[in-house]
Amino acid sequence: MAVIPIRTVPDPVLRQKAKRVKNVDSAIQKLIADMRETVVAASGVGLAAPQVGVSLRVIVLCVPKKDEKNEEYCLINPEIVRRKGERVLKEGCLSIPGYIGEIKRSEQVRVRGTDETGKEIKLRCEGLLAQAIEHEIDHLNGVLYVDHLESQDKLQKVEPEKQEPEESIQ
């Protein structure tokens, strides 16, 4: 396994629509293992393959839970099948270091995809996990959270080392 450098704006790979994974083979499994190591090293909550320069529909999530083990998932070809509710929250991105912005996300999402063994998974998510899933699937479509800002004054400069974990996560 290896930590992969994270691409930052304006790297064009972040604006490409990522391709679907056709076969879950050993190359994909290695990519997922490396992405898991990278997201942990970056103290992130999620990471999408384009952020490590690979334009494929793969995301990993590593959501901290108080007094519990992190919730860890990897999703290949993830699709949101349902969104419910709306909330305003602060969000950051590992590919846009030093900023957080206030945007709207769904309260709950249902997502389906495949795991690294090729098995279909369906998740019903809320809270930080729902936010992270919407954020990471946006990455697969070349969308960044700053695209959801109502106005530029909803973007705030922060010291990267002082960012709260849940704000610096993705």
Do residues 105 and 84 make contact, with C-beta atoms less than 8 angstroms apart? no
CA distance 90 to 100: 6
Q: Which helix (H) or strand (E) holds 73?
A: strand 68-84
CA distance 170 to 22: 25
Mask: binding to Zn ion, 91-120, rule CB under 5 A, as x and -? --x---------------------------
Minimum gap (Å) between residue 42 Cβ and Zn ion: 11
Q: Is 170 in the site for Zn ion (CB under 5 A)?
A: yes
Minimum gap (Å) between residue 118 Cβ and Zn ion: 26
Minimum gap (Å) between residue 119 Cβ and Zn ion: 26
Chain residue whose CB lies nearest Zn ion: 93
- Name the residue nearer to Zn ion (CB basis): 52 or 93: 93
Residues with catalytic function: 136
Only one of the segments 10-18, 72-80, 86-94, 100-108 lies at the binding site for Zn ion (rule: CB under 5 A); that segment is: 86-94
Quick one: residue 127, left, alpha or beta (phi over 0 = left, psi -120 to 50 = alpha)?
Answer: left
Q: How many separate helices (H) and strands (E) can be counted in the chain? A: 3, 8
Residues at the site binding Zn ion, with contacts judged by CB under 5 A: 93, 170
